[in-house]
A and B are shown apart, each in its own frame.
Chain A
Amino acid sequence: ETGVTQSPTHLIKTRGQQVTLRCSSQSGHNTVSWYQQALGQGPQFIFQYYREEENGRGNFPPRFSGLQFPNYSSELNVNALELDDSALYLCASSLERLEREQYFGPGTRLTVT
């Protein structure tokens, strides 16, 4: 157990809807990164938040957005869901933004129908 929690565990949405996924970082960690993992693939970096500011972004469209709160928990929002958004969404926390080791949560399995 890493101490990183995510909710919900599973989610089913319809194409065009919006979804919010949540992540609580490990105690003392001020940095959260989000990844998307399609079936049979490795995780792909979406973005990172450090002290409530976006600190880096991968190759994802603007309909993927996020927030980090003063307690360093984080949300991932996806608008206008597409079928290809079906994936496991992982968040990872780290002590500082340049900390090399990241601690992953168990993930949220999103299915878009």
Chain B
Amino acid sequence: SQQGEEDPQALSIQEGENATMNCSYKTSINNLQWYRQNSGRGLVHLILIRSNEREKHSGRLRVTLDTSKKSSSLLITASRAADTASYFCATDAWNYGGSQGNLIFGKGTKLSVKP
């Protein structure tokens, strides 16, 4: 079963705009990660935020985590056409009954950035 649910399912913006994607999950977690996937290929790790962190930055990426609401958001600033991809959140709950190594993914947000 999928724990994370991304919102929106699809997002279309112009180059230079900011893109915000949200993720909700159901159980306690050790950490939450965001991945990017281009055209049904392999996933690329973007950023990991631990359960005791509230905000993390990496380049044009900003991730927030609210464990009380069981939600996270990914902000991509000054988007580029190359950011066009699907974005997935994945939760790691190995210390809360999950299998070791089992990242639980949502269905993803499909981002389209138009030049």
A-B contact pairs, 23 of them (CB 8 A): A2-B42, A2-B44, A33-B103, A41-B107, A42-B2, A42-B106, A42-B108, A55-B101, A56-B99, A56-B102, A59-B1, A88-B40, A90-B42, A90-B43, A100-B31, A100-B33, A101-B48, A102-B45, A103-B45, A104-B44, A106-B42, A107-B40, A109-B40
- Looking across the interface, which residue of chain A has its beta carbon closest to that of B32? A100
Interface residues of A in 50-68 (CB under 8 A from B): 50, 55-59
CB distance from A36 to the nearest CB of B (A): 11
**B-contacting residues of A (Cβ < 8 Å)?**
2, 4, 31, 33, 35, 40-45, 48, 50, 55-59, 88, 90, 92, 94, 97-98, 100-107, 109
List residues of chain A with CB within 8 A of the CB of B99.
45, 48, 56-58
Known contacts A48-B101, A56-B100, A90-B43, then 7 further A-B pairs from the complex at CB < 8 Å, ordered by chain A residue: A41-B2, A42-B107, A43-B43, A43-B105, A56-B102, A58-B99, A88-B40
